[in-house]
Amino acid sequence: MAINIKRPNGTEDVLPKDVHKWLTVEKIVRETAENFGFGEIRIPTFENTDLFMRSVGETTDVVQKEMYTVMAKETKFTLRPEGTAGTIRAMLQNGLLNEALPQRVFYILSCFRHERPQAGRLREFHQFGLEMAGSASPCADAEVISLAKTILDRLELKNIELYINSIGCPECRAKYHEALRAYFSDRKEELCETCLSRLEKNPMRILDCKSPICGDIAKDAPLILDYLCEECSDHFEKLKGYLDTLGIEYKINPKIVRGLDYYTKTVFEFVTTEIGAQGTVCGGGRYDGLIEQLGGQKVPALGFAMGIERLLLTMEKQGCPYLTPKTCDIYFATMGEEALIKAMALAKELREYGYRAEYDVVGRGLKAQMKYANKIGASFTIVLGDNELAEGVAKLKEMESGKETAVKLDEKFCVNFDSLYIDKVMDSIEEAGGELDLGAQFGLDGHVHDEHCNCGCCKEDTDNG
């Protein structure tokens, strides 16, 4: 009987033909985070369930409805629904907060939430996120918002609006909660069951409810900005000033409360209307109480997370550029065992130079091999057979132009290939009117062979003096 196992609902496969899109985003977020002084952190995929209960919050959708939890022996574990809780746990457990502050870390990771799958909403999705711990200044808020904005700009995304809000500190929040309770109590009967229980425990969560009825009731609810204490209000004013200084446009949206409980003061979202209802590509804010809540010292902190799938959906929609995937640089078509062995040796050497070299590993005939070379878009091909081996010379064919050059199959083969390769690059730059497209010419790592590139070829050059 044929087995018919499909991937679980709400998960996605990324195939080799699409992986360059992911690599584009990952490269740009990494580089930008590093430019801003952030170091990469890697944390476990699952944590003790308690960690999320205590940080994300027991009245949030994430904890109430969306967590994947397993009971293993006596302990409850949960697949991380987000990255902040685990990251702060790791910073505490490894003593990072005893080192020079602010500590700045970023991550690229998968998250798991049991949601209804739809465009832009998956059960396993990926986030790029970061956390900065040790600054209470609104200047830090502006810094992380500016980092997010830099990434969106470098990805060449357009029409993404930045919304900011302040949800105050526990002090202003207490007064606000009272006002919300008074407001929602009048229409208690109409609220969904979850919101009804939120009314007592955490009425601000009602504003984040996805039910249209609750959303409609919440339309005229009191606004947090009218309840901010002097310190929180001052913080928000200063942030706005810094954003103006940085030339970052924003809109104030007093309705943003964010889906996680740990936020204080600044919250923000970058939103596009171009990918349907799930348009928040980045969400974040300040969480001054979280570290203490998780058993650490009182260290103010903040961060954000971007949904990588939503970024990619928007990039696709807007036709944003990707780094060009590297294709095969040279394909050896071989006839006979001896030729195959020669191809293996030459390919090995070329790969040390940093080239992508391939030869037939199936045992196909010459015609089929050339067809394959064409299909994989090889830049150069070279046919090796008895004649070529006997003469020690073969024809290297540049596939696009059809131009053939005789090359010796000796110890200079790689060096000669290198210069022919560079000639080809130069020709295509000339054709493009002098425009150098690094991604297209040199592959994803932007590798230009020179004395600094540190790859096999240059090591050899210096070894040889």
**β-pair type (264-271, 161-166):** antiparallel
Residue positions counted in the chain: 465
Q: Which of 288, 309, 329, 360 binds ligand ATP (CB under 6 A)?
A: 309
Sequence-ordered list of residues with C-beta below 8 angstroms from that of 303, at least 6 positions apart, any chain: 84, 87, 129, 130, 131, 132, 144, 284, 285, 287
| Residues 373, 381 contacting (CB under 8 angstroms) | yes
- Between 19 and 277, name the residue whose CB sits nearer to Mg ion: 277
d(CA 78, CA 378): 46
82 binds, among ligand ATP, Mg ion, none (CB under 5 to 8 A by kind): ligand ATP
Please report, as a single letter, which amino acid is at residue 445: D
Residue 121's binding partner among Mg ion, ligand ATP, none (Cβ under 5 to 8 angstroms by kind) is ligand ATP
Q: N- to C-terminal Cα distance for the chain?
A: 64
Nearer to Mg ion, 291 or 305 (CB): 305
103 near 134, Cβ under 8 Å? yes
| Residue from 205, 265, 310, 424 in contact with ligand ATP (CB under 6 A) | 310
Per-residue contact track with ligand ATP, 121 to 140, x per CB under 6 A? xx--x-x-------------
Q: Are the beta carbons of 303 and 130 closer than 8 angstroms?
A: yes
By Cβ distance, which residue is nearest to ligand ATP?
307
Closest distance between ligand ATP and the C-beta of residue 385, in Å?
A: 53
- Nearest alpha carbon to residue 338 among 390, 378, 412, 416: 390
The binding track of 201-240 with respect to Mg ion, each residue x by CB under 5 A or -, is ----------------------------------------
Kindly state the smallest distance separating residue 60's Cβ from ligand ATP, in Å.
Answer: 9
For residues 457 and 353, the answer to whether their CB atoms sit within 8 Å is yes
Minimum CB separation of residue 48 from ligand ATP in Å reads 19
* Interface with ligand ATP in residues 244-283 (CB under 6 A): 258-260, 278, 280-283
Among the residue ranges 115-123, 166-174, 178-186, 291-299, the one whose residues contact ligand ATP (CB under 6 A): 115-123
Binding site partner of 310, from Mg ion, ligand ATP, none, Cβ cut-off 5-8 A by kind: ligand ATP
Q: Which string of DSSP letters, residue by residue, matches 36-70? A: TT-EE----SEEEHHHHHHHT-TTSHIIIII--EE
Which of 43, 96, 109, 305 forms a contact with ligand ATP (CB under 6 A)? 305
Minimum distance from residue 304 beta carbon to ligand ATP (Å): 8
Partners of residue 33 on adjacent β-strands: none
Residues that bind ligand ATP (CB under 6 A): 82, 113, 115, 120-122, 125, 127, 258-260, 278, 280-283, 305-307, 309-310
**Interface with Mg ion (CB under 5 A):** 259
